[in-house]
Chains A and B, each alone.
Chain A
């Protein structure tokens, strides 16, 4: 069974992964977000685009930031939003996941925003929802986090004019990072000249090069002359044990300090999907420094999510009219 995240006319029906999407569509998402981002500066921060629509945030994994920006985005589009936080232990079996889904669907939901700790969960849910329901992937296991990738692209576009001439370095735990996988696909689709990943072998997938990246194990050569630096979050449970000896040693080798930042171009921007572990992935002086765009990323998250939600639900109504 295969869900197709595009409608027959090439519009977004679901938003599950960046893989397979074409450059014009990614550009359209960013252009749309550009229009929405002005709304945040108005007195009344609302547009009636999704009035009467019901959106359910279905989070099988804890999240505060991503869930709140999705919720804000939906509310600014005038949709009704419900939040469901379901601990994964309660749905360790596929059938109860489907049961949960069909029960919520019975409430005439128009869209699910889904986060789950298993890779492929969003795809699975999209395969099983009713035809009139859209699914937005808010992160599935180690696979994809497409809205995060798009808000990162949006942020890069605001600072750097042309993707083609950029050198981008992604530092850290690529192996477990859904954010990095989606970023790499988005950067490649937008035609970025060179994508690098930097990290110890224990945090890089085997055959990383097949993802279309250049692999570096040290910051000096990996950061040399880059325009954009993306540091990835290191999950606490992975800092100690077989993957890494300690957070201290990680910071020593791969933590982004002012000193290491000098390897990059002087106008390089520094990004992080958040939440930050200060003194692990990044030094506070860099995170709060002039080259950091980390808080902008959060702001852009709302506009990007408004763009994706409105596009997916527009294609649904279009589809309904045809039928």
Chain B
């Protein structure tokens, strides 16, 4: 199969490329980025005039609900949604059911993903068995089975001794540890940010110290153990500051932020809008600005979806009783590029934070447009105006607070391993 993507604006942040050109694909790989390729007889021509051609997106955290909650969503349904969101690689956290703490679960997920064939699904293995926070998981076996890192998901490791040993063991195996930093006691007492909105609505608050205490503790142990670590979904400005200082000290730490934390804050809770119930909670306006600053400065390297599809019932109830999380695969790209529309970050920063930078965190060869690389490509319409309509999401989860938001950027095609896996209908 030969494909030619014609006349697009080809942007590859990894190689600093930004040029109007054609991209030639053969046998699933990029064979040339050029004005012309003699003798290339394309089976499919894709007109990308006035469109951006960039690497397929790499998402550091998306829950697909399989295995364990197939009634909510499946690998089949969610990889379809990922393709529609321009995502060609995604990592799933270990908190499936059963937990990703044995090679068998890794194989099951990879098999199902291969069968779906729309996006690369990578697994992050469990740090402790069943994520119980007590006994170390068989990380060497998980690594051999293909896990790109280890994590305890959102389950806490209360015992500092276990936490230290887990980090040491991961360091021994040269595995990156992915951390959702939250002090369990401070976090569990609330459902929203502790601040003006929690005071007004009478909802129990989660103070910013829930995050900063955990990040501080973790940074000290990262320094002591020498492990490479990544912080998922920062929510507070103070945590950004702590990580900035750690990076300046030379610690091997990276961080991501969810697209929704870059756009929403505590005030978006409005009148108990359960779609804005997320964990970590939406913080103050100042936190949101400091997260953007962190992204601009490179303290935060990646924007991730933190996709959590839920069924309709999960959001139907009094606020604190609803399940936190939002369906985010299909809004990751338009929300991140909205920051470009708003002059918050440059187009190159935006695309880098969605492609080569998260790929580097996962330690994989993806997120780049280079000759010889797998043809994982996202083609973006850069100047369309459309209302976000969660009810027409491809994902099984329609739980999004962005309904009615006006977006300008839209995925028009997604190519995975040289195959067109998504094409927007006209």
Contacts and interface: CB of A to CB of B under 8 A. Distances in A.
Interface of A: 1-3, 19, 92-95, 97-98, 116, 118-121, 123-124, 140-144, 178, 181, 205-208, 210-211
17 contacts: A1-B273, A2-B270, A19-B200, A93-B317, A94-B313, A120-B201, A120-B318, A121-B318, A140-B318, A141-B203, A142-B202, A142-B204, A144-B202, A205-B198, A205-B205, A206-B205, A207-B195
A211 B321 contact: no
B297 to A, nearest CB: 28
B145 interface: no
A116 B271 CA distance: 17
Contacts of B316: 94-95, 98
Given A94-B313, A95-B316, A118 B196 contact: no
B184 interface: no
B319 A211 contact: no
B202 A2 contact: no
Contacts of B318: 94, 97, 116, 118-121, 124, 140-141
Contacts of B183: none
Interface residues of B, number: 25
A52 B318 CA distance: 31
Given A118-B320, A118-B321, A207-B196, A143 B201 contact: yes
Nearest to B204: A142
Contacts of A143: 201-203
A206 B203 contact: no
B194 interface: yes
Nearest to A60: B318
Nearest to A206: B194
B202 A92 contact: no
A98 B318 CA distance: 10
Nearest to B314: A94
Contacts of A208: 199
Contact of A119 (B270, B272, B273, B322): B272
Contact of B272 (A95, A124, A178): A124
A144 B315 CA distance: 22
A210 B272 contact: no
Nearest to A97: B317
B207 interface: yes
A143 B198 CA distance: 9
Contacts of A141: 202-203, 318, 320
Interface in B204-222: 204-205, 207
A210 B321 contact: no
Contact of B321 (A3, A93, A181, A207): A93
Interface string B324-343: 00000000000000000000
A207 B192 CA distance: 14
A150 B320 CA distance: 27
A211 B201 CA distance: 11
A140 B194 CA distance: 19
Contacts of A178: 202
A308 B270 CA distance: 25
A77 to B, nearest CB: 29
Contact of B319 (A118, A181, A210): A118
A93 B207 contact: no
Q: Which 10 A-B pairs have the closest CB atoms?
A: A94-B317, A142-B202, A118-B318, A143-B202, A120-B272, A205-B199, A121-B318, A94-B316, A119-B202, A210-B196
Contacts of B320: 118-120, 141
B385 to A, nearest CB: 25
Given A93-B317, A119-B272, A119-B320, A210 B194 contact: no
Nearest to A88: B321
Contacts of B272: 119-120, 123-124
Contact of B313 (A1, A2, A93): A93
A98 B274 CA distance: 15
Nearest to A4: B271
A118 B200 CA distance: 14
A142 B201 CA distance: 8
B189 to A, nearest CB: 10
